[in-house]
Amino acid sequence: MHARLWSALAALIICANCLAADEPAKEPRKGKAISVKLVDEEGSPIAGADIGTMAALGKIYADRAAKEGTQWLYVNHKRSDASGAATIEDAEEWLGHLCVVARHEGRKIAAAANIDPANTKEPAVITLRPERKVVGQASCPELSDLQRDVRGLALVVYVIRDGKKVLETSWEAGRFEIPLPPGDYTLWVYGRDTYDAQPAFSVTPGSEALQLEPIQLRATRLALLQGQPAPEIPGVVAWKNSQPLALADLRGKCVILDFWGYWCGPCVYRMPDTFSLYEKYHDQGLEVIGVHVDLGEDEKAPVATVAELDRRLDDTRQNLWKGRDVPFPVALVVGKRTSYGEGIPGLARSAASAEFGVTSYPTHILIDRRGRIVGKFYSHREGIELLEQKLAEK
């Protein structure tokens, strides 16, 4: 993928795989180009249609899309010529998990095609059909009971077809609208403080909006723990930079739990920021505990000792952290898939992740001086202001 487009869509692919899906992110290798021919329902070629492998739409992508001259933001963006033809470079490696998405903005016709990466010798003929607006509404009764719900919170929606991603969109409230061509789809919907839901639905031809059944999201364990005493970290097999610690022993301090893994690109990339945060506020009463979760069943050997963790971090320390090492205590947790709770889809990467409702990596959790969970911590301006407020409390 060209560097410019990779930067524009890093949040879609890296975050989707590493954060939302709770899997390590890997940029696909560059592969050979694929050729496509776009036609309408009459079989006539479509000129001037936008095409790519996966797309994104919504307010947060609008500026980047505008720079491409489109309404949607496309991975590997191309535009069809007068004969309806287009060539998508470096696309073959993406076709295993992404659909080819094509759309003519003026005619409001679109297609989401599942192209077999093993069958790319001949141009793939893709038929664009009239799109239909799909409207959905998500809510979270558990958070409503606590006077907190998904209204006003970021809601991320992925559209899946045949197991491959078609679109991503992000909304500031529980209601969302997505134009889609006819076909069978699955949504992957989640909010900032909720687990995901994955309803299936079909889009049939029609001019009226398709209203989906209401989607009820389950609150994360972390959201429900806000304001409650922090539980202890289960499943710790070793400690780096410390004797065994109990959170109860840190009452009177503010604590940030940093759930991370050597395998997680965003985790190790952001770790120097956490070093700086710890060094700046430690004397004011801040403690940071890293909770390192390995890949569990995917590990050839578990990261169960400090020596093994240090070995896995050799290159990271030298090349990314500029020779520095983690300055705060790290609890080592061996990954083991664990249920988040009855009726909640998906499995946590570890018992510690399930206990704190961690669904993405890295996740930072702020605990106040009384040992109560404040919630997720973000190192932006508002997050720092909240930390300083909690440090000021005695």
Same domain, 251 and 321: yes
Give the pairing of strands 34-39 and 73-74. unpaired
pLDDT given at position 22: 55
pLDDT given at position 31: 62
Does pLDDT of 23 surpass 50? no
Question: What confidence tens digit (pLDDT) does each residue in 232-285 have?
Answer: 999 999 999 999 999 999 999 999 999 999 999 999 999 999 999 999 999 999
Same domain, 369 and 332: yes
- Mean pLDDT, residues 336-352 taken together: 91
pLDDT given at position 172: 80
Least confident segment among 78-92, 96-110, 307-321: 78-92
Which of residues 166, 184, 216 is at a domain's end?
216
pLDDT band at 173 (very low <50, low <70, confident <90, very high): confident
Same domain, 52 and 193: no
Q: Nearest CA to 257 among 230, 234, 290, 232?
A: 290
Q: Nearest CA to 149 among 219, 227, 214?
A: 219
pLDDT band at 92 (very low <50, low <70, confident <90, very high): confident
Same domain, 46 and 143: no
Question: Burial level of 335, CB count in 10 A (0-12/13-18/19+)?
Answer: buried
Same domain, 226 and 337: yes
Same domain, 241 and 358: yes
Q: Specify the CATH number for the domain of residue 230.
A: 3.40.30.10
**Backbone φ and ψ of 200, nearest 5°:** -100, 150
Q: What is the pTM of this model?
A: 0.77
Same domain, 236 and 198: no
Q: Nearest CA to 96 among 13, 152, 22?
A: 13
Which of residues 78, 112, 130 is at a domain's end?
130
pLDDT given at position 59: 86
Does pLDDT of 11 surpass 50? no
Q: Specify the CATH number for the domain of residue 72.
A: 2.60.40.1120
Give the number of domains in the chain: 3
pLDDT given at position 118: 72
Does pLDDT of 138 surpass 60? yes
Provide, rounded to the nearest whole percent, the portion of the chain with pLDDT above 70.
89
Residue type, 321: W
Same domain, 188 and 249: no
Q: Nearest CA to 157 among 169, 172, 165?
A: 169
Domain that holds residue 80: 3-130
pLDDT given at position 148: 62
Question: Burial level of 81, CB count in 10 A (0-12/13-18/19+)?
Answer: middle
Greatest C-alpha distance within the chain: 73
Same domain, 244 and 149: no
Question: What confidence tens digit (pLDDT) does each residue in 179-192 have?
Answer: 999 999 999 998 88
| Interaxial angle between packed helices 265-281 and 381-392, expressed in degrees from 0 to 180 and rounded to the nearest 10 | 40
d(CA 264, CA 282) in angstroms, rounded, equals 25
Which of residues 168, 192, 216 is at a domain's end?
216
Q: Are 393 and 297 in contact, with CB atoms under 8 Å apart?
A: no
Looking at per-residue pLDDT, the higher value among 176 and 91 belongs to 176
pLDDT band at 294 (very low <50, low <70, confident <90, very high): very high
Same domain, 371 and 270: yes
Q: Specify the CATH number for the domain of residue 198.
A: 2.60.40.10
d(CA 317, CA 272) in angstroms, rounded, equals 10
